[in-house]
Structure 1
Amino acid sequence: MKFNLSTSTFLLGVLATAALSSCDNDSETTPDVAATEQEHRYVRVLVSDEQATKLTQITPFDASVASFDTKFPLANLYTTASGRFAAVLYQSQNLVEMFDTGLESHVDHVDVKGTPKWAAITATGPKPTHFKSKNTESLIFNDGDGTLSAGNDADFHTPGAKFKTINAGLLPHHGAMAQFDNGNYAVTAAATSGASPTSVRVVSSTGSLVHASTLTTGSIHGNATDGQNAVFGCFTTSANTSGSVLVVKQSGEQRLIANPADFGAFRLGSIYYAEAANKFIGYVATKGAYLIDLSSDKITPIYTGTDAIQCKVDQAGSNLLILTLDGKLRVYDLATGTLKKEGQAIAATPAADTYKPVLEATERFAYIAVPSLGEVHQVKLTDFGSVTKHKVSARPVRLTVAGFESSASH
């Protein structure tokens, strides 16, 4: 068979294209880090210490650990909705800083946008306590004066940038807020300065009143939102003898859903929204974890023990994890409400300990900071006996998972 130059060039091009296509296909079909055997490449775990001025970042994919100086110890940690940043709240020092993991999601892959570092922006509202994040907005409730502090991811590296202050005319109190899809906020309000909040109103992003509260409750604590509904744990009346959840719709409509009849004088002090499962969960250590069904206005039990020390939704919002004093971990499928797995994850925790282990999770692993050991235990969720122990600092007491459940790079 006779080949001329143009034919040879064409065939070489076809072969090269086929080779590249083969490489691309191999890349696409290669299991994502051996399926569930290893954590995703772009997951990060951040830890703060009770006494040391250190923030520790763990990269579970390669078990590397990096340390960064903080302004103060005992910082509360929260991950932004974008996954890239973590809010570091020093409540007693009236300061919030933002930490940048250097990771940016583009849906089908993750870009590394530099090294992990502190962002330039700060917030200085008095007693910053409650943190929420939606899309690229971060929102802080300042208990000391009843104001909100708002910041956007795009401004976090602007030199000298500050969170803007939103004054909604609230008295100082231990408050909470939620962001709606339309840009308004549901915020708690106190009738007396320093007293527990007894109502919720809807305000604009500038603090102006949009919808006044229509219900008065006992003290409120804990809340979450799906963008259309904000759910707050509360006592039903100021007598604080029975509990409910207060549901505030984006439209301003409000209603109460009563706790189960035998619940007693308790409220659900923590409320979570599990995005993938589209479910609300309420938790209080003395009563357990409960599913809050907005369609039927019912609260039903998931776990009813009195020994839970941590209750968390995993990063995607598919599963609920509960850690109990005896060191057992339970994983519930939120789509069905059924128990998927339970077993021993860590040693038992003395009930008298001031700082108990703290828990966060991805789809593959639970991360448990154990203050008494100075370690974060990475527990494989398909095999609780498979544990990687990361030495972090002397007394790790706060934990958050940042980054992305992805191993795909550009």
Structure 2
Amino acid sequence: MSLLLRTFNSSRPYTKLASSLLLAGLIAGCTSGCSKGSDSTTSSEHNHDHEDTEIESSGVLALFNSDTNSIDMLNIDDQQVLNSFALSGSAPRLYTSPEGRYAVSIQRSDNLVSFFDSGLYSEDHGDHLHDYQDTPSDTGITLNGIAPTHYSVFDEQGVIFNDGADGTVSSFALISDEVLTGNDTIASLELDNRMHGVAKLINDKLFVTYRDLSVTETTLPEQVERYSFDGTNFTLDTRYSEGCPGLHGAGANENYLVFGCSDGVLSINIGDASYTATHSANPASFAEGARIGSVYGHHEVDELIGTVGAHGSSTRNLFRLAPGTVEVISEFALPENDTAITQGFTHSGEIFYALSQDGELHFYHSADWLLSHTLPLISNDQLSLERGESPLVVASKADEALYVLNPNTNQVHIVNATSGSLVTTIELAFNATSIAWLGLTSAHEHEH
């Protein structure tokens, strides 16, 4: 009974991430770029012509330079390194902040998340928008949750989930470009147990995984909780009775939030005021032990894509997920039944791409899932499927460009996803193992 009362505490206030919990050094550290993004008084004193001030920029690529253990900011248009930031510790995984301005650097084994400013951002001056382009800078903001792992984005909110470790519990932190620009308090919450989990903030509802204290044979969660978040407090609404054993991976579109389970998928109807949940079993065609492990969704696309692959394998089979239909999970085969190394949606959601293990990049129209183009991109002698050496693909949040990093050759291929064609190849002068696109985004943000 005491566990039940503690778990269902009616309201949990968020905490500013202190050194004893998650935050080490939420300090100013703003350059001129930061001040422009957060100082409305200075901006309002400028003389404006009341017309949108636009900067033509393809953006910046944040690349982890393994030669110097640094994050290098590469201007896409002239291929020059604008600034470099030394890191200590392990190689990071790089991600894009919800609105594209900041690089999110996650070093799981170092219990560290850092944020770097691309210098590209827009301000709303009331009667017009004003773009800015400053030198990239280190924000000085760091988070110190234990084992930060899953990073998810929905609209303008990002969630970093910390798995925790023996003797510690899981936790998560909410970020946004607005919070990072203003050096505001970062909301966070400690959970009751450690787990390899995930959380997603959708509007004012926070969906987060749950693992009962009695479960000891795995660190994977088996249920989902829903909280209300008013900007100050997390209030537990419910713990869903519909189970999701071995939960791993989550994705959302306009109507559904979908979690991958060892025995199927758990779909929550986020378009319904009651947020009803439904569990759907794996089809009989699944091989023994096969399960949905990752889920990809987009606001503008009714169906989601799930991946299925053997444990430890770098390649995956793809499946279409259609919550609310009779056949929720159906196979989505690549040409010649190939498997995918990496996959995702373009910014608009009109194209779904998949890089297959033969080095070909395949493009599908998400409206009907018909193959539109196939681009032979990486030859067999330049392709490695080893962990840390396999190609990475990131999408621009401004247009339909894809950036394909091949760590095996230190090349970045720029691809037009609409035409399925190679635009150009950037030859890097250093070894790179991670990549994120940063820059000025189009008007509507989407989940990637």
TM-score, normalising length: structure 1: 0.79
Aligned to 1:299: 329
> 1:155 is paired with a residue of what secondary structure?
helix
Say if 2:356 is the partner of 1:328: no
Structure 1 residues 63, 121: CA separation in 2 closer, same or farther (over 3 Å shift)?
same
Match of 1:140 among 133, 136, 160: 160
Q: Whole-Å Cα distance in 2 between the matches of residues 252 and 377 of structure 1?
A: 41
Q: Distance in 1 between matches of 2:145 and 2:197?
A: 13
- Alignment partner of 1:345 is 2:377: yes
Are positions 1:309 and 2:346 aligned together? no
Separation in 2, partners of 1:201, 1:341:
41
Q: In 2 relative to 1, CA 220–355 (structure 1 residues): closer, same or farther, beyond 3 Å?
A: farther
CA contact (8 A) 1:358 1:368 kept: yes
Distance 1:353 1:163 in 2: 33
Instruction: After TM superposition, give the deviation of residue 219 of structure 1 in Å.
Output: 0.6
Shift of 1:340: 0.9
SS in structure 2 of the partner of residue 92 of structure 1: helix
1:48 CA drift (Å): 2.0
Instruction: Output the amino acid matched with 2:320.
Output: L
Task: Return the offset for 1:221.
Answer: 1.1
Tell me which structure has the larger Cα radius of gyration: 1
Give the Cα separation in 2 of the matches to 1:147 and 1:262.
Answer: 37
- CA shift, 1:119, in A, is 1.7
SS of match in other structure, 2:178: helix
Consecutive unaligned residues of structure 1, counting only runs of 5 or more, are 1-26, 34-39, 237-243
Change (3 A) 1:392 1:190: farther
Match of 2:257 in 1: 230
Q: Write the distance in 2 (CA, Å) between the matches of 1:195 and 1:51.
A: 34
3-state DSSP class of the match of 1:245? strand
In 2, the alpha carbon distance for the partners of 1:342 and 1:121 equals 41
Q: Could you tell me how far apart the structure 1 residues matched to 2:156 and 2:141 are?
A: 14
CA distance in 2, matches of 1:342, 1:110: 38
Relative to structure 1, the CA distance from residue 165 to residue 331 in structure 2 (aligned partners, 3 Å threshold; closer, same or farther) is same
Q: CA deviation at 1:132?
A: 2.1
CA distance in 1, matches of 2:59, 2:299: 18
Distance 1:249-1:170 versus aligned 2 partners, 3 A rule = farther
CA contact (8 A) 1:345 1:379 kept: no
Q: What amino acid does structure 2 have at the position aligned with 1:195?
A: T
In the other structure, the counterpart of 2:70 is 54
CA distance in 2, matches of 1:318, 1:261: 30
Q: Please list the CA deviations of residues 308-333 of structure 1 after superposition, one character each: whole Å capped at 9, or x if unmatched.
A: 11112112322111111211110111
**Corresponding residue for 1:387?**
424
Question: CA separation of 1:202/1:233 partners in 2, compared to 1, >3 Å: closer, same or farther?
Answer: same
Shift of 1:188: 0.9
In 2: Cα distance, 1:386 partner to 1:101 partner: 23
Q: Identity over aligned residues, as a percent? A: 23
Decide whether the 8 Å contact of 1:220 with 1:235 is kept in 2.
yes
Amino acid at match of 1:303: A
Distance in structure 1 (CA, Å) of the matches to 2:145 and 2:387: 31
Mapped partners of 2:388, 2:428: distance in 1: 21
What SS does structure 2 have at the residue aligned with 1:274?
coil
Kindly provide the CA deviation profile for residues 30-62 of structure 1, in whole angstroms up to 9, marking residues without a partner as x.
xx99xxxxxx72433222245642212233233
Whole-angstrom distance in 1 between the partners of 2:170 and 2:422: 46
* Residue deviations 1:352-375 (CA, integer Å, cap 9, x gap): 455311112345433111112222
Residue 203 (str. 1) matches residue 244 (str. 2): no
Label 1:306 to 1:400 Cα distance change in 2 as closer, same or farther (>3 A). Answer: same
5 Å-filtered alignment, 1:360-375, equals 360-362=394-396, 363-375=399-411
**Distance of 2:68 and 2:258 partners within structure 1:** 36
Which residue of 382, 390, 409 corresponds with 1:356?
390
2:255 equivalent to 1:218: no
Give the Cα–Cα distance (whole angstroms) in 2 for the partners of residues 351 and 151 of structure 1: 33
SS in 2 for 1:208: strand
Compared CA separation, residues 397 and 268, structure 1 to 2 (3 A): farther
Q: 1:45 aligns with which of 47, 50, 61?
A: 61
CA contact (8 A) 2:244 2:265 kept: no
Distance (Å, rounded) in 2 between the aligned partners of 1:352 and 1:324: 14
What's the CA shift string for 1:212-256, capped at 9, x where partnerless? 1212232111111236532111112xxxxxxx1111234342112
Report the residue type matching 1:375 in the other structure.
Q
Q: How far apart, CA to CA, are the structure 2 residues paired with 1:42 and 1:406?
A: 12
- Cα distance in 2, alignment partners of residues 368 and 175 from structure 1: 28
Q: Distance in 2 between matches of 1:91 and 1:317?
A: 30
Q: What does 1:69-218 align with in structure 2 at a 5 Å threshold? A: 69-72=85-88, 73-105=90-122, 111-112=131-132, 114-144=134-164, 145-157=169-181, 163-167=186-190, 169-181=191-203, 183-191=204-212, 192=215, 195-205=219-229, 206-218=233-245
Q: Contact 2:252–2:299 at 8 Å: present in 1 too? A: no
Question: 1:354-410, CA deviations, whole angstroms, 9 ceiling, x for partnerless residues?
Answer: 53111123454331111122222223443645432241531x222222223569xxx
Q: Distance in 1 between matches of 2:291 and 2:115?
A: 32
1:75 to partner: Cα distance: 1.0
Give the SS at the match of 2:196: coil
Matched position secondary structure for 2:109: helix
State the Cα distance separating 1:70 from its structure 2 match: 3.7
Give 3-state SS (helix, strand or coil) of 1:255's partner: strand
Q: What is the CA–CA distance in structure 1 between the aligned matches of 2:420 and 2:351, rounded to whole Å?
A: 16
Distance 1:197 1:401 in 2: 31
Across the aligned residues of Structure 1 and Structure 2, the Cα RMSD in angstroms comes to 3.1
Q: Is the 8 A contact 2:152 2:159 kept in 1?
A: yes
The answer on 1:288 being equivalent to 2:317 is: yes
Stretch moving more, 216-225 or 149-158: 149-158
Write the distance in 1 (CA, Å) between the matches of 2:283 and 2:222: 21
**Residue 46 of structure 1 contacts residue 399 of structure 1 at CA under 8 Å; is this kept in 2?**
yes
2:42 is matched with which residue? none
- Post-superposition offset of 1:334: 0.8
Deviations 1:91-124 (A, max 9, x none): 1111111122222246996611532212232211
1:251-293 CA-to-partner distances (Å, cap 9, x unmatched) read: 3421123334312232221111123334422123555222211
- Unaligned runs of 5+ residues in structure 2 are 1-51, 310-314, 444-448
